[in-house]
Structure 1
């Protein structure tokens, strides 16, 4: 009853009442059923009036099911729909029109509700595609021309007015604004964006600083901006999201695979048993009609409708709920696996940490004036292109309010040791111990001790020498995300036992961060292939493991893990392609929510299977023994289908507990 390809459905749907035709047909079936029942029991009208009412009920109740069953039979598949129609036809044959109509009513209602649930879940996702506006304002010379999205070219400049949607992925080239990225990344707060200063040597899209990037479908704030288009609409983050979500259903969950296998054997067995039961009058003392009646009642009782729908409805509702929070879960498998995880491996850089080095210590020595010291370091570091130098210069300027005067010259990088430059015509050296020793600058014991204690704590340390003596120490470090500690705490509260950080950095760095944010262990000095080996070992010891990373340098390790979770996937193609779960924003704090949601989904799947198999297990023996009539069998059996769907829909309203 699930695996119907909804396409077959949709073209029938839009007939009379538009999208909800199926639901209205089910309701009409119910109305005529009640009408027929009232006429039959409470009036003296002739039988054909109530019969007509039942026949109309049959039409409305059986319409969609028959179309679907017919399409399946043509492909050689007998499934539950076929059993249901057989039962309804049989009921009519033995004169139990009311029961047959009741059967069709509840079955079509269950069906319609299922499609409604599926469509609701798909709508939550389809809403993504309505995010991107249909046209954009393109700047051509001094003119601004309204252009349909499909005609945008890479390199076009589009003008985005205040409070309107952004029409393409690109980089902001003029104007500053705060942009609401919730539709794509799930971030609730608007993000401040600024124009990039130059388009020369622009790195790849995913490597451009996020503060200059605008995504399709996000909403501009209060000021006008201009965007240089970098991706065409079919390639935009939104388009890829939609494509992925529509493929989501293909990855069936383990439970779903099991139910499919079960149905494949179960349906033919039911058909054989029912046919045999038709001939039971030959053995026991009853009429052919009584045998037929029992066979048809068994047919109704034995159809595993609720079972067929129990998993897909829960999986889709879970996925749709996650999508509202800016989390993309690819398929039932990822959803179910995530719920059973107790070990998580984290890549360090950009996942648990900001991924940007920050200036952590400024220590002056020999009573050297701090402001002068900072000025020297700023002047020299500003001339270097090294990421660490850039980070130091930026932090000195912002944290210590020192402005760059451009007074240093002759910068030179000394490979693996540091840099040197001229400041006030005197040589300045900034670098490691080796550099100072090579330049014959004395490093006292107290300085080495200070350095060592910083190194022990995971800082990258540089000595600064001026006029042949050491005037100070600076250190930088990639600091943990502000939310990392709280997130890990929450993860251990919800029962994640092992949280391991994998990093290419020095083991000291790993240990420090692990201590600060509460990880169970840290593994340092790992190359990408070492990460793969660690994951292999963890899989051997812990069975299942989730790996959280940004999906770029850790793609091989992520591919190997049971469930891979990518952070900040909105900007990175690799992460979107390879990960099973993608957090569209950089928010690691969404992780506990997703794990809890997966567990809730697993729970609901279990409940649903229990309900559906339970009902079948009770009804089949009872009906074979002829202890119940067809009406009761129908109510119990179809009622379970409706309950299962409603149970699954609870996931759409899932809230975090903590």
Structure 2
């Protein structure tokens, strides 16, 4: 079912003139290209003077927070009429209970969408004024889902530790959180003792009967409690079906079989909770990496303070072999830092202080000086300056995003949810029909009822319900531990079924630190004049190519008086212009000079430009007034190991790999040939990259876009899966991407694809195993081949099988891939 939201267009895009504005068209196009967004359009029906952006989306596929991220990536912001609460709770450790709580929240007045994961992550979007955080937390408390110190998006604490402990004990009942498991074991124990005593003629039957009744109590306590909640919510879940079967067995006098059913079912529930707990612990282990206290220098002395008390600008002392408490940059000391917990890098990274004259803005800090909370210092003593509060550190945001990502349901999970909504009522209808079998065949009603109850047990889709969530949660937890942030089951599964990947060039396939390699003056011009003019203009630009010119220009003309330009303006995708000595200066690609007024490029400059481009250089022609000063050649080398990454990607089954670049086609082709890409598309503006991604989606159905998360945001938002490089410390990259490689290491991409492939494979295995068991058990019980006891054993065994299969992902390691041989086998597997 689609949900509709209305967002004020002026709030989203303050500079937009009307719905025909290009920015509005880009925003609508990017939203409509996302899976789960049915349509987006401008609506003036409510107020002719106020335009509203109306978005129809499927909450199970894409959340309101994801739409907000996409809007942010296009320079927009969602208005403040929507609130967001994200909290971790106890009392939810199974799929059925998570679905029930989710339904309760969604029916609450003012709630736009709600998602609850089986490991207790609750995320709610609501309309401010219609409900509040307090009302939502009150509903959670009444449901029995107590916050365990979770936080909302703004970092406000939702429960103190004493509150969490007290509530957990209350909801856990007698034995705390282990009560359900202990009850399941008591049920199995009393059943076993009752059965063994029943074999002896010396023991009265009443003793065995009493023990079977005890087994009913312990095995049915939690099942009955949840069944009451689901029936009151007008849902008929697996718990209800099992209680019906157990009650029917008792009615027939088959207490032992009914007790066996409840004992195994409650034990399966307890083990399901254990499996979800394993996945939750793997995620929580990340949060526990950051130390509780920090040594901070204040007023000339060192003080031990709680990490939560650190302020931006504080100087923190990091002793050898200790964990770093906050994000920041090194101001004193040299050491190596193990960043594997955040970025996935296996080798410690050398850290050094920022230069005294360097900018202290976070975005300008070099990687060799930046440190992250939760990473481990080596043998040296460091002093760092704090740049983020503990609640906003890279590690904290990764944990928060992974927890919230569990709400983004995978395609297979959506299928199984739809299947269960149809299947469970169909089972009840079948059971009712079987009760009238006595009118067709000659058998006593007790045999008819027994068969119907056996079918009820056999057809309960317990394994199906847990098969996909357990695999998705394990995959997300394993990815987070390996320096990958995957935002939900949908990106995890989509990445595992990809056949095509598009790469940005600069900073992704190349190092992203271009160097000026060639200065070719035009005839009659001087190389010094060429550099001085270029330096004057480019020193006022923040483009990476400008930085290369400025570095080289200042080094070459050390001590010379620099010229000062004014009115420097960027020409998107083409170059830059400015005024120097009263004349306009243009610096940019050769295409620029065919689009502006003035004399054409002279033959010698054109020839030099072609020669440099053919050797893989990016070229920039310089014209001062009507006089061409020459051409500059800039080289951005490919990343070390980039070619090997392409080979490994092909071995995983990626068959179409292309590069999208704003650079000229000749340079793009040269790099593509060197790296072994299938195709390179050059001379692309940002909107051209979006069009290229749309074309690839039409051809390949699914495509990933790998970029830096900033300049490539529109293309990443348009792709099936957007992948950001070097997302650690970058808000934009982490918000925009579906998958974020936390470290600046392209080599993590094949691991991400391989992990997603394995996750997809396990999801399919679990799906077919659970459906297969149901398909075998139903006919077997209908025709009386299996009784209740054997049906229960096979039923619960299949549940344990799919859970155990899913937990294998927590220990997943990327296999050593064989040399690429065309990807035939991998592609065949995908096609099948």
What range is the shorter-chain TM-score in?
A: 0.7 to 0.9
The equivalent residue for 1:650 is 808
The equivalent residue for 1:277 is 434
On the 8 A contact 2:520/2:608 being kept in 1, the answer is no
Higher relative contact order (CA 8 A, sep 6+): 1
Q: Aligned partners of 1:417 and 1:338: how far apart in 2?
A: 38
The equivalent residue for 2:656 is 498
Alignment of 1:25-424 (within 5 A): 25-42=183-200, 44-198=202-356, 201-203=359-361, 205-281=362-438, 284-358=441-515, 385=539, 391=548, 406-411=558-563
On the 8 A contact 2:538/2:549 being kept in 1, the answer is no
Q: Aligned partners of 1:333 and 1:598: how far apart in 2?
A: 11
**Which SS does the other structure have where 1:188 is aligned?**
coil
The equivalent residue for 2:766 is 608
Q: Aligned partners of 2:233 and 2:357: how far apart in 1?
A: 56
Q: Aligned partners of 2:261 and 2:468: how far apart in 1?
A: 23
The equivalent residue for 1:2 is 95
Q: Aligned partners of 1:620 and 1:353: how far apart in 2?
A: 58
Gap change, CA 1:34 and 1:324, over 3 Å in 2:
same
The equivalent residue for 1:530 is 688
Q: How far off its partner does 1:308 sit?
A: 0.9
**Which SS does the other structure have where 1:355 is aligned?**
coil
Q: Aligned partners of 2:589 and 2:662: how far apart in 1?
A: 22
Is 2:729 the counterpart of 1:571?
Answer: yes
**Superposed CA offset, 1:17-70 (max 9, x none):** 554443343333323322222222256311122223323333332233233222
On the 8 A contact 2:536/2:564 being kept in 1, the answer is no
Q: Aligned partners of 1:330 and 1:344: how far apart in 2?
A: 18
**Superposed CA offset, 1:616-644 (max 9, x none):** 22222222233332111111222111111
Q: Aligned partners of 1:384 and 1:268: how far apart in 2?
A: 69
Q: How far off its partner does 1:256 sit?
A: 0.8
Q: Aligned partners of 1:331 and 1:390: how far apart in 2?
A: 37
Q: How far off its partner does 1:262 sit?
A: 1.3
**Superposed CA offset, 1:279-324 (max 9, x none):** 4445543333222212211111111111111111111111122122
Q: Aligned partners of 2:611 and 2:357: how far apart in 1?
A: 43
Q: Return the structure number with greater helix share.
A: 1
Gap change, CA 1:388 and 1:551, over 3 Å in 2:
closer
On the 8 A contact 2:475/2:810 being kept in 1, the answer is yes
Q: Aligned partners of 1:389 and 1:382: how far apart in 2?
A: 11
Q: How far off its partner does 1:212 sit?
A: 2.1
The equivalent residue for 2:776 is 618
**Which SS does the other structure have where 1:119 is aligned?**
helix
On the 8 A contact 1:106/1:639 being kept in 2, the answer is no
**Superposed CA offset, 1:55-93 (max 9, x none):** 333333223323322232232222111111221222222
On the 8 A contact 1:13/1:22 being kept in 2, the answer is no
Q: Aligned partners of 2:755 and 2:656: how far apart in 1?
A: 20
Q: Aligned partners of 2:682 and 2:589: how far apart in 1?
A: 22
Stretch moving more, 384-393 or 288-297: 384-393
Stretch moving more, 453-462 or 595-604: 453-462
The equivalent residue for 1:423 is none
Q: Aligned partners of 2:207 and 2:446: how far apart in 1?
A: 24
Is 2:672 the counterpart of 1:520?
Answer: no
**Which SS does the other structure have where 2:471 is aligned?**
helix
Structure number, greater radius of gyration: 1
TM-score (norm 2): 0.68
Q: Aligned partners of 1:476 and 1:62: how far apart in 2?
A: 73
Q: How far off its partner does 1:583 sit?
A: 1.1
Is 2:606 the counterpart of 1:459?
Answer: no
Alignment of 1:425-436 (within 5 A): none
On the 8 A contact 1:314/1:605 being kept in 2, the answer is yes
Q: How far off its partner does 1:110 sit?
A: 2.3
Q: How far off its partner does 1:169 sit?
A: 1.5
The unaligned stretches of length 5 or more in structure 2 are 1-93, 99-118, 121-143, 147-167, 522-526, 569-574, 579-586, 591-601, 623-629, 818-832
Q: Aligned partners of 2:466 and 2:357: how far apart in 1?
A: 53
**Superposed CA offset, 1:315-334 (max 9, x none):** 11111221221112111111
**Superposed CA offset, 1:121-151 (max 9, x none):** 1211111111222222222121222222222
The unaligned stretches of length 5 or more in structure 1 are 365-372, 398-402, 420-430, 435-442, 465-471
TM-score (norm 1): 0.85
Gap change, CA 1:384 and 1:253, over 3 Å in 2:
closer
Provide the alpha-carbon RMSD of the alignment: 3.7
